Structure 1
């Protein structure tokens, strides 16, 4: 099934204890599309400025991403600058320049309106709702959000959550949205807003999936090389949604497999700055790391 993503394409400048990268390719939709492209056909909707180089478009084309929905406008592309300390779970934002992204109003090409699977990346929840009005009959809809929208547009966000099947957010955002600390209570509250599935990303501690009946916990893979966690959450979402789109099912087994594939893609993403690790990544490496996750969590019955 084809997969539609609506989000941001950006230039990132990132500093970590292990190095620095300036004006590199980033953005939620970029990381998501790249990760998902290993599993399924991806249709990208975003906006860039006139300064966006052809080399980045060539990269997306090489990955098989359909970017007919990538709008180019006069002005500068969205820019983000951040820094990480040795506690890599959270970035300190140093500068945000929305530029052309500030007036972004997603308009889907006609060829995108039949998308079976939709992912609404981290954008204004009012825009997320508007995108859903443009899609005819999606079989599966998931979204992401952040504390800015949780605090600033809560009513619109709750309305959006009533229209989606899956919400994917990090633990801090989940706690803020629910107004609870305990993640079991958090899940119960958020699922009452409408989503059938809640996935809570926990960085180096893995991910949790709740559906109201069962809970699934996936670890993060211990890695020797971790350079840049930027985009890890979006890569997780791309792997997760990409696999579900490829599989065509939302049963318990498929959802758990998708969580692991999301974790696999996030684990590769952090091994280099920007999308550099994805430039050489193969499906064989992905499948091998999936087996590593299986070995990491397997134990015999007592």
Structure 2
């Protein structure tokens, strides 16, 4: 199924960050994408509670004056974006990180949400903790988890394919956000320790039939290359990403079954930990998978 029309780029980018030193990578990617998409950039940082005696005193003595943290964050953003032509808005909220992201994103009909990946800080713990699970279930917007340094627009993109509706939406989203890019549609034959010609050919033909069900502009369909791997998913896909210097992996999410059903089963958490590239998570809008 082809469609000559293409939906617009996101009108807004929501960057969730605590503005620490190791958040430079998602900040740089947000800056690049805001310029590429010509989108408004909204920066959200969440304070989960006071950490020093002075902060405790300020917490208890609120008088409505702007807090030093927010003023410092605003100055940092002004310096970071000076001369870029971009004027990001800043929102500082207090409370649970995931709740804050969901609430703010809920007020943005057309947005792409960005954040970083780290297991060292509660705010950035998207891959290893409960934040990822809740966002994967409840966030209707695509979620971009940034790991790599930004050296230009994404050029090498992979979409993981299990022939499901979630994978279909992942591919359509990747083609919409990044028109004109070469996309590898990647399927793994996990039951095979070694490639078998007949099985690989059958999988390639199934991939082509799958593409026929996707709503893609003609030029986007022509830019998709199918690839069939074999072996363990959590070994094969990360190895391909590393060997082919893939910059962005796009995974479809099955929301009805939690993190354990993201993309292709309970191994998804291991997969996300092993991927060296940036990862775009796209939640299926269907309650039941039709793959």
Q: What is the TM-score normalised by the length of structure 2?
A: 0.34
User: Highest CA radius of gyration, 1 or 2?
Assistant: 2
Work out which structure has the larger RCO, using CA pairs closer than 8 Å and 6 or more positions apart in sequence.
2
